[in-house]
Structure 1
Amino acid sequence: MVLRKCEICDRKFKKTEHYKRHERSHTKERPYECTVCHKKFSRSDVLSRHAKGHIQNANGPTNINNAAKNTTAATTTTPPITAADGIGSITAATPMIPDASDLAASLQIPADPNHVQEEQRRMSLVNIHTSTANHQDNDAQHHFINRTSGGPGPANARASVPVFPPTPRDVQITPPGGLSSNLDFLADISAHQPRTEPEINAMMMDEQNPAYFGWGDVSALETVEQQQQAQRPITFDPMPNEMLQLWLEPRADSVSHHSSSIDFMRNMNFIGENFISPGRRDSRSMDSNKAIDDIPNERFTRVERSWVAPANLVGRLINNLWQDVSCYESDNLFSIPPWQSMSPSTGNYPGSRFGLDEECRSQLQHAFGLSPASIGSINSATPNDALSPTASTAGSGSIPTFPPAEILDMALDLYFRHFHPLVPFVHLPTFCAKKTKTPLLFVMCQIGMLILGTKGTTSFVSKTFTCSLERISSELSKCAIGNETSTGVISTFAAALLTLNLAAMTGEKLHIQQSQMLYINLMSIAQRHGLFTAGEGQSVDMSLFEAVPDLEMRWKAWSRVESTKRLIVGLLLLDSWFSSFLSTSPIITPDSVQIVLPCHESLFQANSSSRWMQHIRGGKRIITSMVKSPNETTALPVLDVPVDEFCMHALLAMLQLRLSGAYHRILFKRPNYPFAPCHTYAMDGQARCLTSLQVQVMNTYNESLSRMNPNCIVMWHHMCMDLTADIQIFELAAGRNGAGPARKALDDITAWTQTPAARRACLHAAQIFKAISNRRASDDTMFHSVHALFSAALILGLYIYMVPRSAETQAGATSIELLDDIDWQQVGTEGFTSFMEPHGSPSSRTMDDQTVNFIRHGGTIYVRGVPHQGGYQSARRILLDYGGLLKDTGKWSVRKFSYVLHIMSDVLMDVD
Structure 2
Amino acid sequence: MQNQATRILSPLDTYRENPADHAPSEIFQPLEPLPDITMPSLLQLGESDWQEEFRGDGDIDAMHQGPGYISPPVDMHFSPSMMDWLDFMDLPDPILPLSTSRAESESTSSALTSIPAEQMHRMRRLWSRQRPKFAGRLMRQLWEQVTHHKSDNIFTAPQASAHDFIHAVSNRRQTSPRSMDEECRTRLAQHCNELDESFRYENSTDDETQSTPRSFLSGSPSDSEEAFPTLEILDSSLDFFFQFFHPILPFMHKSTFDLRNTPSALLLSMCLVGLSYVDRIRTRAFVSRYLNKMMQSCSDDMASQALGQCTASDLLATLASTLIVVYLALGFRDEIDQSQAYMLCAQMLSIADKRGLFAANQGDDPGLQLRQGPSDPEGFWKAWARIESVKRLIFCFVWLDMAYARLMNAAGVIEIDKVELHLPCDDALFDGPTSAGFLNAIQQGAQLTMPRMKIRNFYTTSTPPLSDTSTQILLRGLYLRVIAVRTKLSEEENQCSDPHPVSHAEALAAVDSSIKDIITDVLLLPTTQASVLKGRNRMNALGWHYLCITLTADMDLLEAASGRDGLEAASTALVQVARWSQSASARRAVLHAAQVFDILDSSRIRESYLTRPDLVLFVSALVISQYILVSGQKEGRPDTHSPSSPLPFELLQDIDWTVVGDEGLVTSNGTVPQSAIIDGDPPPATSNAARHFIQLGGPISFAGEVPNCGGVSARKMVRKFAHLMAGFGTWDGSGYSSILKMMCDSVVGDDLVI
Fold equivalence (TM over 0.5): yes
Matches within 5 A, 1:184-223: none
| C-alpha separation in 2, matches of 1:622 and 1:336 | 25
Counterpart in the other structure of 2:144: 323
Distance 1:813 1:805, change over 3 A: farther
Distance 1:300 1:599, change over 3 A: farther
Counterpart in the other structure of 2:481: 658
- On the 8 A contact 2:205/2:285 being kept in 1, the answer is no
Indicate the SS of the match to 2:421.
strand
| C-alpha separation in 2, matches of 1:854 and 1:542 | 53
| C-alpha separation in 1, matches of 2:605 and 2:282 | 26
What is the one-letter code of the residue matched to 1:871?
A: G
Find 1:646's aligned residue among 469, 488, 513. 469
Matches within 5 A, 1:789-828: 789-807=617-635, 813-828=646-661
Find 2:348's aligned residue among 522, 527, 551. 522
Task: Determine if the alignment matches structure 1 residue 758 to structure 2 residue 586.
Answer: yes
Listed as ranges, the gaps of 5+ residues in structure 1 are 1-180, 188-203, 208-248, 908-912
How far off its partner does 1:804 sit?
3.3
TM-score, length-scaled by structure 1:
0.64
870-879 or 307-316, which deviates more = 307-316
| C-alpha separation in 1, matches of 2:366 and 2:450 | 8
Find 1:856's aligned residue among 695, 705, 711. 695
Deviations along 1:178-225, one digit per CA (max 9) or x if unpaired, are xxx9856999xxxxxxxxxxxxxxxx9979xxxxxxxxxxxxxxxxxx
How far off its partner does 1:803 sit?
2.6
Indicate the SS of the match to 1:421.
coil
Counterpart in the other structure of 1:674: 501
How far off its partner does 1:263 sit?
9.1
Task: Determine if the alignment matches structure 1 residue 379 to structure 2 residue 200.
Answer: no
| C-alpha separation in 1, matches of 2:470 and 2:540 | 10
| C-alpha separation in 1, matches of 2:708 and 2:175 | 57
Distance 1:500 1:651, change over 3 A: same
How far off its partner does 1:711 sit?
1.9
Indicate the SS of the match to 1:627.
strand
How far off its partner does 1:366 sit?
1.6
- On the 8 A contact 1:358/1:405 being kept in 2, the answer is yes
Deviations along 1:119-167, one digit per CA (max 9) or x if unpaired, are xxxxxxxxxxxxxxxxxxxxxxxxxxxxxxxxxxxxxxxxxxxxxxxxx
Counterpart in the other structure of 2:20: none
| C-alpha separation in 1, matches of 2:443 and 2:568 | 65
What is the one-letter code of the residue matched to 1:757?
A: S
TM-score, length-scaled by structure 2:
0.76
Matches within 5 A, 1:473-488: 473-488=299-314
Counterpart in the other structure of 1:404: 230
Listed as ranges, the gaps of 5+ residues in structure 2 are 1-42, 72-88, 639-643, 747-754
How far off its partner does 1:510 sit?
4.1
Distance 1:321 1:372, change over 3 A: closer
- On the 8 A contact 1:754/1:807 being kept in 2, the answer is no
| C-alpha separation in 1, matches of 2:504 and 2:735 | 27
Indicate the SS of the match to 2:514.
coil
Task: Determine if the alignment matches structure 1 residue 461 to structure 2 residue 294.
Answer: no
Task: Determine if the alignment matches structure 1 residue 493 to structure 2 residue 282.
Answer: no
Matches within 5 A, 1:572-591: 572-591=398-417
- On the 8 A contact 1:813/1:853 being kept in 2, the answer is no
Find 1:427's aligned residue among 253, 261, 284. 253
Distance 1:824 1:274, change over 3 A: closer
| C-alpha separation in 2, matches of 1:274 and 1:714 | 68
| C-alpha separation in 2, matches of 1:312 and 1:681 | 42
808-817 or 554-563, which deviates more = 808-817
Matches within 5 A, 1:742-781: 742-776=570-604
By relative contact order (CA 8 Å, sep 6+), the higher-ranking structure is 2
Deviations along 1:447-501, one digit per CA (max 9) or x if unpaired, are 1122223422122212222111111111221243354322222222222222121
| C-alpha separation in 2, matches of 1:718 and 1:309 | 50
User: How large is the Cα RMSD of the aligned pairs?
Assistant: 4.4
How far off its partner does 1:866 sit?
3.2
What is the one-letter code of the residue matched to 2:451?
A: S
- On the 8 A contact 2:146/2:154 being kept in 1, the answer is yes
- On the 8 A contact 2:269/2:325 being kept in 1, the answer is yes
| C-alpha separation in 2, matches of 1:273 and 1:757 | 72
Deviations along 1:859-906, one digit per CA (max 9) or x if unpaired, are 443333333333333333433343344443378525322222222224
Task: Determine if the alignment matches structure 1 residue 614 to structure 2 residue 440.
Answer: yes
348-357 or 263-272, which deviates more = 263-272
Counterpart in the other structure of 1:366: 190
Deviations along 1:243-284, one digit per CA (max 9) or x if unpaired, are xxxxxx974669999987999999996677999xx9xx6456
Matches within 5 A, 1:444-459: 444-459=270-285
Q: Tell me the matched-pair count.
A: 656
How far off its partner does 1:545 sit?
2.9
- On the 8 A contact 1:480/1:525 being kept in 2, the answer is yes
How far off its partner does 1:331 sit?
0.8
Indicate the SS of the match to 2:152.
coil
Counterpart in the other structure of 1:875: 714
| C-alpha separation in 2, matches of 1:704 and 1:693 | 13
Deviations along 1:50-69, one digit per CA (max 9) or x if unpaired, are xxxxxxxxxxxxxxxxxxxx
Deviations along 1:267-315, one digit per CA (max 9) or x if unpaired, are 996677999xx9xx64564588899999998777666655326874741
- On the 8 A contact 1:184/1:258 being kept in 2, the answer is no
Task: Determine if the alignment matches structure 1 residue 536 to structure 2 residue 362.
Answer: yes
What is the one-letter code of the residue matched to 1:315?
A: G
| C-alpha separation in 2, matches of 1:313 and 1:514 | 24
| C-alpha separation in 2, matches of 1:413 and 1:186 | 65
Deviations along 1:590-630, one digit per CA (max 9) or x if unpaired, are 32121111111122122222221221221111121112224
Matches within 5 A, 1:56-67: none
Find 1:724's aligned residue among 552, 559, 565. 552
| C-alpha separation in 2, matches of 1:571 and 1:320 | 20
Indicate the SS of the match to 1:895.
coil
| C-alpha separation in 2, matches of 1:665 and 1:870 | 36
| C-alpha separation in 2, matches of 1:336 and 1:270 | 56
Task: Determine if the alignment matches structure 1 residue 829 to structure 2 residue 662.
Answer: yes
Matches within 5 A, 1:38-437: 251=56, 282-283=102-103, 285=105, 307-308=128-129, 312=133, 314-339=135-160, 344=168, 347=171, 354-369=178-193, 371=196, 377-379=202-204, 387-389=212-214, 401-437=227-263
Distance 1:808 1:724, change over 3 A: farther
- On the 8 A contact 1:652/1:716 being kept in 2, the answer is yes
Deviations along 1:752-801, one digit per CA (max 9) or x if unpaired, are 11222112111111212222233347787843444322222222222223
What is the one-letter code of the residue matched to 2:202?
A: S
What is the one-letter code of the residue matched to 1:792?
A: S
| C-alpha separation in 1, matches of 2:67 and 2:168 | 58
| Higher gyration radius (CA) | 1
What is the one-letter code of the residue matched to 1:425?
A: F
How far off its partner does 1:704 sit?
4.8
- On the 8 A contact 1:575/1:586 being kept in 2, the answer is yes
What is the one-letter code of the residue matched to 1:534?
A: A
How far off its partner does 1:724 sit?
0.6
Counterpart in the other structure of 1:439: 265
